[in-house]
Homo-oligomer: A and B are copies of this chain.
Amino acid sequence: MVEYIKDFKWEKGMSTKEFVKQLGSIGYQSIELRKSAEAMAKMKREGAKIFLTFTSNMVTSGLRGFFAQIIEKGLAQVCVTTVGGIEEDIMKADGEKFMVGSFHSDDFENHENGLNRVGNVLVDNQSYMKLEDKLLPILKKLYAKKKNWTPSELFKEIGLMLNDESSILYQAAKKNIPIFCPAITDGAFGFHLYLFQQDHPDFMIDVVGDFKNIVLSTDHNEKKGVICLGGSISKHHAILATLLNGGAEYAVYMTTAKSSSGSLSGATTQEAKSWGKIKDDTDAVTVHGDVSILFPLAMTLTLEILDEEGLLE
């Protein structure tokens, strides 16, 4: 069936749902955006296990509470991220606030003011210092239980100690959704683990154990979907875990990276077709652009569709 390009027209009071639907008839990335929304709805409708991956800078942003909401609504059964995002989720659950800044602010001045610039978001260095005060007693409590922890076990315990509906760790812990973080030491968190290990030499983070956990989090017979926001090892790890289980049936990638350099961060879902499980072009969608706009936009349509179908948790 041929679909035609349609002129977009503004209508007063237009809902976001209607807006995204209309994007599907404009052209270029707008078409892919609508397709991605439908592919994400289909993953849930068909009962796929959904692997959601995102990078730290997205948790620095206001997507953090949205990820928590998505987990709560049942749209992610496995999460993979980098450790900066874990840290900042905890900071925010503890009341820390990040500021709207500018891409062009003076970095010497930021340095003098004790501000850490992440694009156009500013983080007070104090927030990192308070993290230490927060983490130490937690690590002590956990160490008292046992010496050897996988990252996902650790995050679940921490999640249970938080009390913030907008926290990724909190919602994931409540719903028993594992959060994997294959490079747990690559951040302030790693520094605190190192300090703790200095005093408790038998304290051990077992990353190999978590590789087992993610590989066994699904199986060949289960339908699988991957939603990869940005690139990095988060994306790579989820794809690897599903491939070891026969490949995913659905894939949505949103990225600013290009495929021309051969990096996985820039790899598109075209390549995903080589996994041999994707049957329909509409089930593998790449949208090029900034996740801070694309993801809430597409996911809003997904949520509205699933809500109508009574499929949200």
Contact = CB atoms under 8 A, between A and B. Distances in A.
A295 to B, nearest CB: 9
A221 interface: no
A261 B65 contact: no
Given A10-B66, A32-B120, A69-B10, A258 B288 contact: yes
Interface in A196-251: 197-198, 203-212, 215, 230-233, 236-237, 240, 244
A111 interface: yes
A176 interface: no
B230 A261 contact: yes
Contacts of A103: 32, 259-260
Interface string A263-275: 1111000110111
Interface residues of A, number: 125
A158 interface: no
B182 A194 contact: no
B240 A186 contact: yes
Contact of A31 (B32, B120, B210): B120
Nearest to A273: B107
A232 B215 CA distance: 22
Q: Of A29, A231, A271, A300, which is in contact with the most chain B CB atoms at under 10 Å from its CB?
A: A29
A264 B57 contact: yes
Interface stretch (A18-26, A38-46, A130-138): A18-26
Which 10 A-B pairs give the minimum distances between C-beta atoms? A7-B65, A119-B262, A27-B61, A107-B274, A29-B290, A183-B183, A26-B62, A30-B292, A3-B100, A185-B211
13 contacts: A9-B66, A28-B57, A28-B61, A28-B290, A28-B292, A32-B103, A107-B274, A108-B273, A108-B274, A205-B208, A231-B265, A257-B265, A293-B297
Interface of A: 2-10, 12-19, 22-33, 55-57, 60-66, 68-69, 82, 84, 92, 97-100, 102-104, 107-108, 110-111, 117-121, 148, 166, 182-187, 190-191, 193-194, 197-198, 203-212, 215, 230-233, 236-237, 240, 244, 256-266, 270-271, 273-276, 281, 288-294, 296-297, 299-300, 303-304, 307
